[in-house]
Amino acid sequence: MDMLHPDALVGAPKGAPHYVSQGQECALFEQAWRCQLPLLIKGPTGCGKTRFVEHMAARLGRPLITVSCHDDLSAADLVGRHLIGQGSTVWVDGPLARAVREGAICYLDEVVEARKDTTVVMHPLADDRRVLPIERTGELLQAPAEFMLVISYNPGYQNLLKTLKPSTRQRFVSLTFDYPQPLIERDIVCSEGGVSPAMAEGLVRLAGALRRVTDHDLEETASTRLLVMAGRLMAAGVDTESACRAAVVDALTDDLETAAALMEIVRGVMAQP
Ligand code: ADP
């Protein structure tokens, strides 16, 4: 059987978050869900990871619980805690416990940002056991077949301390995302930004030029998200230069000289017919 045969795919229901596919990622997600395997999505910020997960959750008819991880996020934040009320304590599930109970898809965005103790609760959920031990209450939640753990991170960040341990990453099926191919990115900017195909094409050309020069100098380069934002401003009537400055250039750098150099590229590229 061809694992990624498109016929295996369920269609997107009406109202599902719009997602332009870049390849076979939708089929892979669906198969991983059916096989009860957790998924790791790697890719730069703003390339469509979150939108993809939102789209797939709607497509598979599962609720989605998203957690944006940060450096203070602990295992207790994910699992839950006792809260003291009027004279009594009540247990309140955290987002991960809620997702397991509901058979939801739980998406931990930028998981490497979270505290190290979060791996203790992720590991037994991400292997064959598929359980969430809740130490404080003594419960052992068995994840239903519909539950799926999805995590993402951006391997581009130059922080060696913030990476996934092999024992974590080897529990997950991996998907590597990058900025979409130009024609696909044009369609995304067109539909998401509400601009004409010609305007979208200009913004995608700009991204190509910025990505070439900024790859090494800046922490991040022009993402699809920034192009969509520039497109929205342009569609609302903001002139091209101001839109690109506000949505793209100033998002990439605080340095005035670098911004001036990037604006030269904007003028050069966006002036082209
Ligand atoms: P990430 O989670 O990788 O940081 P997002 O999923 O939030 O990025 O994407 C940022 C924005 O870019 C989305 O809100 C959407 O407007 C647009 N976008 C990116 N990729 C796609 C895609 N493949 N289809 C539709 N919209 C996309």
The three-state DSSP-derived secondary structure of 69-83 is CCCCCCHHHHHEEEE
pLDDT at position 143? 98
Atom of ligand 1 nearest to the CA of 177: 3
Least confident of 54-58, 117-121, 157-161: 157-161
Compute the distance from residue 225 Cα to the ligand 1 centre, in Å.
6
Pick the residue whose CA is nearest to atom 27 on ligand 1: 48
**What's the maximum distance between 2 C-alpha atoms anywhere in the chain?**
71
Ligand 1 mutation pick, 225, 227, 228, 229, max ligand atoms within 8 A of CB: 225
Residue ranges of domains in the chain: 6-176, 182-270
Q: What is the DSSP string of 143-158?
A: PPTT-EEEEEE-TTS-
pLDDT band at 158 (very low <50, low <70, confident <90, very high): low
pLDDT at position 115? 93
Higher-pLDDT residue of 158 and 242 is 242
> Distance (Å, rounded) from C-alpha 39 to C-alpha 52?
12
Classify 179 as helix, strand or coil: coil
* The domain over range 6-176 is classified in CATH as 3.40.50.300: yes
Compute the distance from residue 21 Cα to the ligand 1 centre, in Å.
11
Average pLDDT on 128-138 reads 93
pLDDT at position 156? 73
Atom of ligand 1 nearest to the CA of 109: 2
Average pLDDT on 47-51 reads 97
pLDDT at position 1? 40
Compute the distance from residue 153 Cα to the ligand 1 centre, in Å.
15
Average pLDDT on 250-255 reads 92
Compute the distance from residue 179 Cα to the ligand 1 centre, in Å.
10
Pick the residue whose CA is nearest to atom 11 on ligand 1: 225
Compute the distance from residue 194 Cα to the ligand 1 centre, in Å.
14
